Amino acid sequence: MTKNDTVRVFIPLKLQRRNGRPKIVAPRIEALSPTGIQDPHVLKAIGRAWSWRRKLESGEFATIQDIARAENVTDRFISRIMQLAFLSPDVLERLLIWREPPSATIAQMPEATYLPWAEQMDLVFA
């Protein structure tokens, strides 16, 4: 094989930190991307957020500090994760039912809750 017979293939990959770990992210190709692949940490965080919200609304716990003591985590963590329970129904549907992976990290998703529901989709799935 001579030098002119070399074939180079370029795949535009980028490194992205997910949950504190580096992850290689391939370019997004809608037609080829498999459905049903979701980061389990996102699903767990949303499940926790809704569980804690229900516990507060039902009166099982009176404050976020009570939940933090029971879960053995900080009240700041509870406050940050619990914001995920206030994501728009459209965002939750794409995350939980369609299992579409978000482009935002778990740390960035609570920022979306400060936006109107119509604008949350752009931040989470940009």
The answer to whether residue 107 is domain-embedded is: yes
**Cβ contacts of 21 within 8 Å, gap of 6 or more:** none
**pLDDT tens figures, 42-65:** 999 999 999 999 999 999 999 999
* Residues 12-32, mean pLDDT to the nearest whole number: 71
Using the 8-state DSSP alphabet, how is residue 28 labeled? P
**pLDDT tens figures, 63-108:** 999 999 999 999 999 999 999 999 999 999 999 888 888 988 899 9
The answer to whether residue 101 is domain-embedded is: yes
What is the secondary structure of 49-65 as a DSSP string?
A: HHHHHHHHHHTS-SSHH
What CA–CA distance (Å, rounded) separates 79 from 65?
9
Using the 8-state DSSP alphabet, how is residue 19 labeled? T
CATH number at residue 95: 1.10.10
Domain range for 117 is: 34-124
- Is the pTM here over 0.85, yes or no? no
